Structure 1
Amino acid sequence: MAKKQEVKKIVLAYSGGLDTSIILKWLKNEYGAEIVAFSADLGQGDELAPVREKALKTGASTVYIDDLREEFVRDFVYPMFRANAIYEGHYLLGTSIARPLIAKRQMEIAKLEGCDAVSHGATGKGNDQVRFELAYYHFDPSISVIAPWREWKLNSRKALIAYAKKNDIPIPITKKRPWSSDRNLLHISFEGGILEDTWAEAPEEMYVLTCKPEKAPNKPQYVEIEFEQGNAVAVDGVRMTPAQLLAHLNTIGGLHGVGRVDLLENRSVGMKSRGVYETPGGTILREAHSAVEQITMDREVMRIRDSLIPEYARQVYAGYWFSPEREMLQTLIDESQKTVNGVARVKLYKGHCRTVGRKSETNSLFNLDFATFEKDKVYNQADAEGFIKINSLRLRIRSLMQGKK
């Protein structure tokens, strides 16, 4: 915990929501320090429009709103998708992968502004406190970190609202939308409030990026996505930047209700938590990437890479983006992606996304001469007998040792 008398200037990761708005005022009241508010534009849309004015009115001396969308997708989302990362079989890590970039830029601003400390709005029960602070210490091991949720006595939503009213802070949450959300180009997440009833279905009015699958178009849409070394570079023949491409897939996927996930996940701190996610573009991207890998990636390379997916995803989820182990895995994964060049065709229909075609002009490992069930001259089917007998040897020995005939 930072010593209050030593802190003169703080850069706060500021979203303009209830928690960080209160934190901005609380930091001024408790620390008497100058506050620099920083918001990262990762694709939140019009959510950022009131941020600057609100931060200044709440007491910030300076406000940074930085457009990091291209860096986010190019340097964080794409490397993660080259790994086909998915947490606990469902979660495409949309919040997890945003935190290291926010922390990176926050630390750059702290250096530019000569700040003594950095602060965030993550709770003491959540994952984000770990993700932010591991990144902070990567960039400056001696930085002072202020985590209000671990210091103050405002330990309930009711107490926060009372503090906001006392300090004339606008309250963005209402009884009509009793949940919290976090949005970027990869996804939007929802948690808390009515979602804490694990048996209750998430209300339809909660969803932002996707239409209800039952009300999606009755005609399927086919989308072709081109990859170069594991990175998506074009949709339906039109080349786009990473951020443009993901935003485009979000629009298409959202129209067809693709990418909804309702997950009871294991948090890093040890408890289970319910998260509801919309990841339309990411869902399409992962499906298409896997399809191109199927035709271009060697079997054993794929087997080894796939065995690393749970560990890679755990590292991202737990905040170890800047760790040597994640960098080591990334090097191996990127080596496996050099041949992942081709096009996947996916079919979108009422909440579903599935591959219906894949091709590669330069790196296809599919050879019709070998794969065909028709007569061929390159494969002697009788050779399979020896292959089977050798591979069954350990099973036959085991049976003999157990006295079986």
Structure 2
Amino acid sequence: MKEKIKKVVLAYSGGLDTSVILRWLIETYECEVVTFSADIGQVDSLENVEANAMKTGAVKAYVDDLKETFVKDYVFPAFRANVIYEGQYLLGTSIARPLIAKRQMEIAAIEGADAVSHGATGKGNDQVRFELGYYAIDPDIKIVAPWREWDLNSRTALMAFAEKHGISVPTTHAKPYSTDGNLLHISYEGGILEDPWAGPPDDIFTLTTSPKDAPDTPEIIEITFEGGDPVAIDGKPLSPANLLAELNQLGGKHGIGRIDIVENRFVGMKSRGVYETPGGTILRQAHMAMESITQDREVMNLRDSLIPRYAQLIYNGFWFSPEMEVLQGLIDSTQTHVSGVVRLELYKGNCTVQGRKSDHSLYSEAHATFEDDDVYSQADAEGFIRLNALRLRIRKLMQRKEAGRNHG
């Protein structure tokens, strides 16, 4: 017997899956449904999403512009850590899920809803990300995950349900892959990409020009940082969302930010994904360059040793966990002096650092120079080397003694 639900807030994109879910919730649980659609910079338009939700049976539809919040409070904190998952993935989908879950729960509180719902499947990571977020905010919330309950387990079945109930959906033909996009990236998975040996079709990409077709002339840009966050491009101050959008445009023009990876999902299986992250790729490169002259070596080594764990927490959906709070606090404390300007060259899929400067620079030309100087005694290096070699020398001496005894 299904749990009694009075009102549910559905994370609603307006696509086939969530449009069907909206009607299915009404019929299956005989409850009121409030939809919530987050504008976080995705390519798909949300222009008609409210009208479609109401037409399909929603009692109320929220469409919230969260682009600035997304970049300021989710993307920038992660990029202060130069975050990266399994060496390549910049976590574009993963970083967005806690924001959506948080706002969805806020709406549930406003509307007096006793349940929330999402369209994530039972095979993927998103179900975990959404639901861990829900429970972290309200341990007593009821969750409806239709893909784990219903028998509409094919696109054909979904289309038949939509047609039966007069549900307007944006497309009626099978897409060769599934996508998820926002201001940080767009992803492509499934369908024709499920064979890891098959290369992605040339026409799959939407944010970036092919490096082969990118401009033959390099473009030089400068990014200004304050306290670890980018604040301006070429001296022009920009809001977080507008800055990332501008970097997306620049990176896209020059074919920067394409990756094709096989990643390890939290639920246990491997998944092949193709991603475009033009602005994020530029931003990460620039931030690392800024840190290279403003970060203490051992502080940076300590922080970098924690990044695989930090990235895994985001990927696995633990944004609102106590360990995440501790890690974010440590990361933020390292960014106090990460301020200055980085100059980069964008050219045919590459983003190359050309220069960096900061009022907080730890780089000392007087100490690093190959020319004559008055601040560094090269003879000091001898004692430094001998002290560091001491354990290596002792180990070798012991090995010699052991070898002598064995041959004696």
With the length of structure 2 as denominator, give the TM-score of the two structures. 0.96
Give the equivalent residue in structure 2 for 1:371: 368
Identity %: 64
Structure 1: runs of 5 or more not aligned: none
Give the equivalent residue in structure 2 for 1:300: 298
Q: CA RMSD in A?
A: 1.4
Matches within 5 A, 1:100-249: 100-173=98-171, 177-249=175-247
Determine if contact 1:41/1:66 at 8 Å carries over to the other structure.
yes
1:337 pairs with 2:335: yes
Distance 1:261 1:351 in 2: 11
Bigger Cα displacement from structure 2, 290-299 vs 203-212:
203-212
1:399 pairs with 2:388: no
Distance 1:92 1:177 in 2: 25
2:266 aligns to what SS in structure 1?
Answer: coil
The change in CA–CA distance for 1:97 and 1:338 in structure 2 (over 3 A counts) is same
Distance 2:164 2:116 in 1: 25
Give the equivalent residue in structure 2 for 1:354: 352
Tell me which amino acid in the other structure corresponds to 1:188: I
Determine if contact 2:225/2:338 at 8 Å carries over to the other structure.
yes
Tell me the CA shift for residue 261 of structure 1: 1.0
Give the equivalent residue in structure 1 for 2:380: 383
Tell me which amino acid in the other structure corresponds to 2:382: E
Bigger Cα displacement from structure 2, 50-59 vs 77-86:
50-59
Tell me the CA shift for residue 55 of structure 1: 1.2
Match of 2:70 among 68, 72, 86: 72
Match of 2:254 among 239, 253, 256: 256
1:95 aligns to what SS in structure 2?
Answer: helix
Equivalenced residues, count: 402
Tell me the CA shift for residue 135 of structure 1: 0.7
Matches within 5 A, 1:283-294: 283-294=281-292
Tell me which amino acid in the other structure corresponds to 1:210: T
Distance 1:146 1:365 in 2: 53
2:93 aligns to what SS in structure 1?
Answer: coil
Determine if contact 1:226/1:344 at 8 Å carries over to the other structure.
yes
Give the equivalent residue in structure 1 for 2:318: 320
1:169-212 CA-to-partner distances (Å, cap 9, x unmatched) read 33445657411111111111111111101111111211111111
Determine if contact 1:121/1:148 at 8 Å carries over to the other structure.
yes
Tell me the CA shift for residue 5 of structure 1: 5.6
Tell me the CA shift for residue 17 of structure 1: 1.4
1:53-109 CA-to-partner distances (Å, cap 9, x unmatched) read 221221111110001111111111110000111000000001001000001100010
With the length of structure 1 as denominator, give the TM-score of the two structures. 0.97
Match of 2:307 among 306, 309, 328: 309
Tell me which amino acid in the other structure corresponds to 1:200: A
Distance 2:318 2:352 in 1: 31
Determine if contact 1:177/1:206 at 8 Å carries over to the other structure.
no
